[in-house]
Structure 1
Amino acid sequence: MSPDGGPEAEGLEIHHEHETLRLDEDRVRAVVEAVCAGEGVEVVSLGVILGDHALVHELNREWLGHDYETDVVSFVLDEEAQADGQIDGEVYVDLDTAAERAPEFGVPTETEALRYVAHGVLHLCGHDDDTDEQRASMRALEDRYLKAAGI
């Protein structure tokens, strides 16, 4: 159990792949644990990779067929685990996009990047953001879980 009584994300690995930007690992862990507690899921294995434009753009192009930059991409590695309420996946966060967009929202870069972490984990929990209604729902969940994580 995490300090707030929610599930511990023991299978979480955080990888810093950006040359200069980093996130506090305790804050990343707190966001992941808040999402998991709220969604009632358990982390079996989750890699959170904190990268740059080039890394996330390449993954977006190669694996999703989208030739443009994006803030976060997620990959479910085990769909059966997902159906059983478990996370086995990867979340790639573009810290460059977070740094560029944070001033637009009046938040620190880290807060914007942690929103992307929450968003990516929500995708691994089965949430989609294809419609305006789904995007609004995910935004509300991101807000809830960031607040729960003390962000």
Structure 2
Amino acid sequence: METEGAGAEPPEASGGLDVYLEHESLSLREADVRALADRIAAGENVRWHEVGIILGDHALVHDLNREWLGHDWETDVVSFPLDEEARARGVIEGEVYVDLDTAREVAPEVDATFEHEALRYVAHGLLHLVGYDDATDEERAVMRGLEDRYLAG
């Protein structure tokens, strides 16, 4: 029997989450993205509802960063929460744009595989949708710890 109301049902698996491949030659396994999203949803006690993860390239993410955030530089991931009131109830709506080119470039520098680095960006973006920020050193440390936890599975 289903009950209505916040917290009445366990966090939904990644059913409310869609993954879009917008890169010409790089990709991630959708199953890996969904498994990570499921771990985050369970750990943060949220439910993905109308969340899109878009796996793109430098141009896509840079253009969004410039147009919507006013930052004219490349970045690894940008997130756009779409419903703050729903988020307060643990229902997450939004979009995460991941730059797979940056993941490919940075992975050797941090002794990681391309997949691991790209999944770190997915985790980072989803954590932003959940409500975490990384404006201070302390906030960055918290997010990095959560990324590590969820990536470890």
Q: TM-score range by the shorter chain?
A: over 0.9
Normalising by structure 2, we get a TM-score of 0.92
Amino acid paired to 2:136:
T
User: After superposition, what is the alpha-carbon deviation per residue over 1:109-141, rounded to whole angstroms, capped at 9, x for unaligned?
Assistant: 011000000000000000000001100110000
Amino acid paired to 1:42:
R
- Alignment partner for residue 127 of structure 1, among 132, 136, 151? 132
Alignment of 1:24-43 (within 5 A): 24-43=29-48
SS of the equivalent of 1:10 reads helix
Structure 2: gaps spanning 5 or more residues:
1-9
Query: 1:6 touches 1:34 (CA, 8 Å); kept in 2?
Result: no
- Alignment partner for residue 93 of structure 1, among 91, 94, 98? 98
* Residue 52, structure 1, aligned to residue 52, structure 2: no
Query: 1:44 touches 1:87 (CA, 8 Å); kept in 2?
Result: yes
Amino acid paired to 1:27:
D
Computed over aligned residues only, the root mean square deviation of the Cα atoms, in angstroms, reads 1.1
Query: 2:48 touches 2:91 (CA, 8 Å); kept in 1?
Result: yes
Structure ID, larger Rg: 2
- Alignment partner for residue 118 of structure 2, among 113, 122, 125? 113
Percent identity over the alignment? 64
Task: Measure, in 2, the Cα distance between the counterparts of 1:81 and 1:70.
Answer: 27
- Alignment partner for residue 71 of structure 2, among 46, 52, 66? 66
* Residue 83, structure 1, aligned to residue 83, structure 2: no
Task: Measure, in 1, the Cα distance between the counterparts of 2:85 and 2:11.
Answer: 23
Normalising by structure 1, we get a TM-score of 0.93
